[in-house]
Amino acid sequence: MKRFHVHVHVDDLQKNIAFYSAMFGAQPTRVESDYAKWMLEDPRINFAISSRGRKAGVGHLGMQVDSEEELAALKAQAREADMALLDQGETSCCYARSDKYWVTDPQGVAWEQFHTLSNIPLFGGEPAGAKACCG
């Protein structure tokens, strides 16, 4: 099953955690010094925020899948539509190890298509405060 993904860059992490927790009626499922994530079922969304030195606003969108087969099906669909793919394969980013690839829509919005393999203790192989790896 697919889960919609949104990653927003924020200036004040704690203020935004309070705002989105109130809006979603739920606390984040993961909080780090520079990152928070809600894994909601209604609506089915992986909503993440981070304060990793980028301009505030939508960082990227995406689709998270539950299996390698679903990721392969999404990738085949993108290839059939002749979309340019940036295939990262297995990589570490956003406190997770994932198999992923990226496409970019006609407006330049990055779309991450990924299957999460495990959680990791670092944002992307580097300590908090290092350059962002996503998008």
Would you list the domain boundaries of the chain? 3-119
Q: What confidence score (pLDDT) does residue 125 get?
A: 59
For the cut 80, the answer to whether the pLDDT of residue 110 exceeds it is yes
DSSP one-letter string for 16-80: HHHHHHHHHTS--SEEETTEEEEEEETTEEEEEEE-SSSPSEEEEEEEEESSHHHHHHHHHHHHH
Higher pLDDT, 54 or 70: 70
> Can you give the pLDDT at residue 129?
42
Mean pLDDT for the chain overall: 87
Is pLDDT at 120 greater than 80 in this prediction? no
Residue closest to 67 by CA, chosen among 115, 5, 101, 100: 115
Distance CA 85, CA 122 (A): 26
Q: What are phi and psi of 73, to 5 degrees?
A: -65, -40
pLDDT value at 70 more than 80: yes
Which band of pLDDT confidence, cut at 50, 70 and 90, is reported for residue 135? low
Q: Do 66 and 99 contact (CB within 8 A), yes or no?
A: no
Query: Residue 69, CB half-sphere, CA atoms under 13 Å: how many?
Result: 1
The residue-averaged pLDDT of 80-97 equals 86
- CA-to-CA distance for 81 and 6, rounded, in angstroms? 23
Helix, strand, or coil (residue 9):
strand
The CATH number that domain 3-119 falls under is 3.10.180.10
3-state secondary structure (DSSP) of residue 101: strand
| Whole-model pTM over 0.85 | no
